[in-house]
Chains A and B, each alone.
Chain A
Amino acid sequence: MSRALAAALLLAALPAPAAQTPAPPPAATTAPATPALERLAQAVATDVRAMKPEAPVALHLSGATPELRRAFGTLLASRLASAGLAPFVLEMLEAPSPEAAETLAREQGARALVRLSLSVEAGELRARGDAFGTWVNFWSGRTAPRAPSPAAAIAQAVEADAAALALAAVEPPRTPTPAPEEPRPLRLLGAVLARLPSPPAALAAGDLDGDGKDEVAVLTAHAVHVFTAEGSLLAERSLDMLPPGPAPTREPFGALAVLSGPPRLAAWSTRFAHGEVLTLENGALRGVSRIEAVPLGPDARGSFVPGQTAFAPEVRLGTGEQRLAVTSRITTFSAANSRVLLVHPDGSASFFSQPSVAPVPLSGLGAGSALGDLDGDGTPELLTTSPELQPSPDALRVFKTNGSEPTAHEPLWQGSLPSGRALSVVTANLDGDKRREVVVGLTKPDGTGELFLLRQGAP
C-alpha cells in the first residue's frame, strides 16, 4: 500500500470535525481544567458502575503505549475501587490479547472483566471495548459459558490534552542494532494544547525560562500569551498601551519571534504603531524596548504591507547586510538550519536551501507553513496547511526538504485538523528530545482561537 493510500485511509477513518462534540470555549486562555485521562477514567468508571458488576473486576487494556495504558489503568482502578468493585489490572505479558484476558480473569477469580482498547485519534482520547461477567457455574463442566448479565459495550472519548499526548507518544526503548535502521515513519497524534479568547495572529516557540524545553508564545490582535509545554498559561501581556497603528488589518496579523541571547520575545501586531520586546520574568511578561522592524524570526526582519495580512517582499537577515528579495508579497516566513521558506499570498512559495542560493519555486502551500525537524535527522521538514481559501477541514502536510522540489513528492504524513482556519504553524521542542513538535494556530468559527498540538506517536 502506498503512503498516499495509507494517508487517505487514515483521513477517511478520522471523523469529520463537524461531527466532533464541540467544547464550549473557556473564558480564559487555559487548557481544559481536568486532565483528559481523568475525564476518560471517570466516564468509563460511570459506564462500568452502571452495569452493576460483581466484585472483583478485572481490567485489561490494550492499544496505545504502555505508559498510557498504565496511567489510565491506575486512574480507572482507583475510581472502581472507590465504588467497592475491588479492581485489579491484568498484565499484558500474562494476557497478550483480549481473548486471553477472559481466561486469565477467570483464573484469577474475577467476577467481571472490562476489556478496553485505548487510542488517540483526531484530537480525542478514546476507550472502546466491552465489559461482562466472568462467573461460571460449577455445573457447566469444562466449557465456560457467558452469563446473561452483566454485559455492556463501552465507547467513550474525551478531548485529548498535552499530557495524554505525551503519554501516547512515549517511544519504547531502542535495542542497539548494528545495521542502519530505516527511518521511523512519521505519525503525528494531535490534541488541543490551549484555547485562546481571540484568533492567533502569529506563533513562536523557544525556551524563555531556561528549563530546557520550549514555551509556546502566541500573538493575538491585542495581546501576547505564553504557554508551557503542557498548555498552561505561563504569562500574558496586553499590548493596548501601545499607540494604534496607521493601517490595521481586519484579521489579526503580526509577527512574533523568540530572540537569541538572553531569551526575549519580539512582538508586533498590525493593530499597533510599533512592536515591543518582552522578557519573561517571575511569571510575567515585561516590556523592555520598542522595535521598528517587523520580527519575522530570531535573525530576520521585514515590514508589513500597510493594511494587508502580508509582509513586504524583502527580508533582512542577521545584521541586515544579507537580504532576501522576492517578487511578490509574503504571507509566511520560516527559517530552520539555514533554510528559509517564504510563502506568498497566492499559495506559491520561495524555498531557499541556503540564503545565498537562488530560491526553488514551490506551489500549493498554505499560510500555515513552517520548517522544522520533526524526525530528528538534522534536516528540517516542510509543514504546510491547505492552500485553499476555505478548506473544510483544513489539513496539515509534512514534506521532506532534501529533494529538489519538496512538494513534488508525496508527503511524509498528512492529516486533517480540527474545524477552523489554520493560518499559523510553528515547531517547538516541548520535551527536550531531538524531534520537534508541531503547534498549529486555529481561528475557530466562533471567533475564538485554539492551539492544536501534534507530536510523534508511538510506532
Chain B
Amino acid sequence: MTLRHALASLLLLGATPSLGAGRIPYGGELRVAHTGPAEPGEPALADSPLEATLLGLLSRPACQLAPDGHASPALARELSRPAPQVVRLTLASPAQATALARAWIRLAGTEAPSPYRALLFPLRGEGRLLSPTGDTLELALGFPWPDMERALCHPALAPPRSVPAALGPFSAVGANTVEARLAWSQGRPYLDRVRLQATDERGLSRLWSNQEAQVALGVLADAGTPSGAALYATYLAWSPRRVPPDFRQAVESALEREDLTRLFVRGPAVPMPNLLPPALLPVSPGARPTPPPTAQAGRKVTLVYDAGNEDQRAVAERLQVRLHDRGYTVALEPLPRAELRARWARGEYELMLHSLLLPPVPGPALAVVLDAAGRKDLLGVELPRIGALPDAAARDTRARERALALAASVPLLPLYAQGLALRAAPEVGGLVFDAQGLPMLDGAWLQPAVTGVPGARR
C-alpha cells in the first residue's frame, strides 16, 4: 500500500459515518472486474480459483467450507450421518437431489471424466450408482471415510449452472449481472446485485484505477494484497511408456520452481516441491537431483497444455527451453481444457501440464492428485488406510506421509501452487476467503454513504 493509498483510505474512513446500529447493512450494487471468462463452464472444468468463484455465485456444491474449515450446508439443507458408513444429504427439492446425483454420476462415468471423480471414490460404486429418494440423497461409503462431507464441498461437485435445479446465493438477471437470491438457504446476500465485468490484465488495472470497479479479482500479488489459500496446483504429468525412464531425473534437475513462480507465473504463487501444496504439506528443504550422466540429444516429446491458461503457456515455454539442455526437443501443443481432460482420461499424451483446484483437506487432495497421475489403482489401497483413522489430525498426518512416500512412484512432478488475489475498495466490507481459497462475495457488503475521493486508488 502506498502512502497515498493509505492517506486516501484514512480520508474515506473518516468520511464514512459507519453508523449501522451495529448490524450489517443491506443493499447496493457491487462492481466486480475480473480476468476470467465472461461465462464460466461446467464445474469440473471451471476449476481455476477465479472461475470457481464466478461459478459459485450461481451454483454451489452441497456444502461450503467456512474460513475455519467447518463444513456448512450450501445447496443441501442438511448433511448428516445416519450411520457411520452413510452420508445423507437433504436437499430443498427432489429436482435438486436428482440434479446433484446426475452431475456426480457424469463426473464419475466415462462421459466427462475428471480427476475430481476421486473425491467420490470412497462411495460405493465410486459415485456411479447414486439414486435419490425424493429430496434425499443417501451416499453409502465403500470404506470408512470421515472426510467425505468436507470433500463434497469442492466446487467441482456443484451441479452445472445450466441445470434449472442449480442454485447459488445469486441468480443471473442479465449477461453481466447477478442479483441476490432471497430464498438462498444460507441467507440472502447483503448486496442487492453484483455487476461483473470480464477484462484482461490491462483492463483490470484501468478499471481499478478509474474507480470503475470496487473489487478486482485476479490481480497480481502485491505486498498487502489479500489472497486465498494457494490450492490451485499445477503439475507436469507424463506417460511413463512414452518417455525415457530417466525423464523424472532430467526434468527435476532442469527445473527451477522458484524461477517459475517469480518470473513466469502471475498472481500469488508458491513453489510446490511435494505432491501436495505447501498449504497442505509444509515444505522441507530437499537436495536437488543431479542430471542424468549423459544427456542424449534428439529425444522428441510433445507437451500439451491448457490453451486458456496463460500461466501454463509461459511455463510450457520455459520447460521447452530447460529440457532442451537435457537433450529433449519439446513440441508445444495448446488444447482447450475439455480436450486436455479428455486426452488425460484416454492416456493420450506424452507430457501434460495439469492444473487442479485441490480441496483444503490432505486426504481428499491426495486422492485427486493420485487420480490425476494416472494411479487410480492406488486409491483403493491408500484411502482406506487414511480413512481408518478416526482422528482428523491423524488422518491429515497420514495423508501427508503417504504423499511424501508416493511422490517418486507417480508420473507427476509438482511445480507450483497458486491462490486468487483481489483488491477491494475501502467501502467494501465482509469480504473474506473460504477454506478453499475463494472469496465469499455473498458475505460482502457496502458501507453506507461513502463518498469517493478522486484518485484515491492506484
Contact = CB atoms under 8 A, between A and B. Distances in A.
A343 B20 CA distance: 11
A387 B19 contact: yes
B21 A366 contact: yes
Interface string A439-453: 000000001000000
Interface in A242-269: 244, 246-251
Interface in B235-253: none
Given A309-B24, A345-B25, A346-B448, A388 B19 contact: yes
Contacts of A344: 21
A307 B170 CA distance: 13
Given A248-B186, A306-B188, 11 more contacts: A248-B188, A249-B187, A249-B188, A307-B182, A307-B187, A307-B188, A310-B23, A331-B23, A389-B23, A389-B24, A390-B18
Contacts of B443: 250
Interface string A340-384: 000111110000000000000000111110000000000000000
B277 interface: no
Contacts of B180: 307
The size bracket of the interface on B is 20 to 34
A419 interface: no
Contacts of B21: 331-332, 343-347, 365-367, 387
A401 B18 CA distance: 26
A432 interface: no
B158 to A, nearest CB: 20
B190 interface: yes
B187 A346 contact: no
The size bracket of the interface on A is 35 or more
A385 B22 contact: yes
B363 interface: no
Contacts of A331: 21, 23
16 contacts: A244-B77, A244-B92, A247-B183, A247-B188, A248-B184, A248-B187, A250-B189, A343-B21, A345-B20, A365-B21, A366-B22, A367-B23, A387-B20, A390-B18, A391-B22, A394-B22
A368 B20 CA distance: 12
A342 B114 CA distance: 56
Given A250-B190, A346-B448, A309 B182 contact: no
A365 B22 CA distance: 9
Interface string B160-200: 00000000000000000000101111111110000000000
B282 interface: no
B187 A251 contact: yes
A407 interface: no
Of B18, B68, B77, B92, most A-chain CB atoms within 10 Å: B18
Contacts of A366: 21-22
A346 B19 contact: yes
Interface in B6-58: 18-26
Contacts of A250: 186-190, 442-443
Contact of B22 (A306, A310, A423): A423
B69 interface: no
Interface in A301-351: 306-310, 331-332, 343-347
A394 B21 CA distance: 11
Contact of B19 (A248, A332, A364, A447): A364
Contacts of B22: 366-368, 385-389, 391, 394, 421-423
Interface string A393-422: 010000000000000000000000000011
Closest 10 CB pairs of A and B: A250-B187, A307-B188, A347-B19, A367-B22, A389-B20, A367-B21, A347-B21, A366-B22, A307-B182, A247-B182
A346 B24 CA distance: 10
A387 B25 CA distance: 12
A347 B188 contact: no
Interface in A279-311: 306-310
Contacts of B187: 248-251, 307
B429 interface: yes
A61 B129 CA distance: 74
Interface string B417-458: 000000000000100000000000011000110000000000
A344 B26 CA distance: 13
Contact of A346 (B20, B182, B188): B20
A447 B189 CA distance: 18
A246 B448 CA distance: 27
Nearest to A394: B22
A419 to B, nearest CB: 14
B89 to A, nearest CB: 15
Interface string B197-234: 00000000000000000000000000000000000000
Interface string A164-185: 0000000000000000000000
Contacts of B19: 346-347, 364, 387-389
A331 B184 CA distance: 21
B188 A345 contact: no
Nearest to A368: B22
A385 B20 CA distance: 12
Contacts of A385: 22
A309 B188 contact: no
Contacts of B25: 345, 389
A248 B24 contact: no
Nearest to B68: A447
Contacts of A364: 19
A310 B77 CA distance: 24
Interface of A: 244, 246-251, 306-310, 331-332, 343-347, 364-368, 385-391, 394, 421-423, 447
Contacts of A307: 26, 180, 182, 187-188
A441 to B, nearest CB: 11
A331 B23 CA distance: 8
A303 to B, nearest CB: 15
Contacts of B183: 246-247
A309 B23 CA distance: 8
B344 to A, nearest CB: 39
Contacts of A244: 77, 92, 185
Contacts of A391: 22
Contacts of A421: 22
A448 to B, nearest CB: 12
A394 B23 CA distance: 13
A366 B18 CA distance: 12
A331 B24 CA distance: 11
A356 B98 CA distance: 56
Contacts of B448: 346
Contacts of A447: 68
Contacts of B23: 251, 309-310, 331, 345, 367, 389, 423
A300 to B, nearest CB: 19
Contacts of A368: 22
A422 B21 CA distance: 10
A247 B188 CA distance: 7
Contacts of A332: 21
Contacts of B77: 244
B188 A308 contact: yes
Contacts of A367: 21-23
A310 B21 CA distance: 11
A299 B119 CA distance: 54
A251 B445 CA distance: 13
A250 B432 CA distance: 15
A389 B188 contact: no
A223 to B, nearest CB: 15
A423 B23 CA distance: 7
Nearest to A250: B187
Given A308-B26, A345-B25, A389-B429, A248 B185 contact: yes
Of A244, A308, A386, A391, most B-chain CB atoms within 10 Å: A308
A36 B267 CA distance: 52
Contacts of A394: 22
Contacts of A347: 19-21
Contacts of A386: 22
A421 to B, nearest CB: 6
A447 B72 CA distance: 13
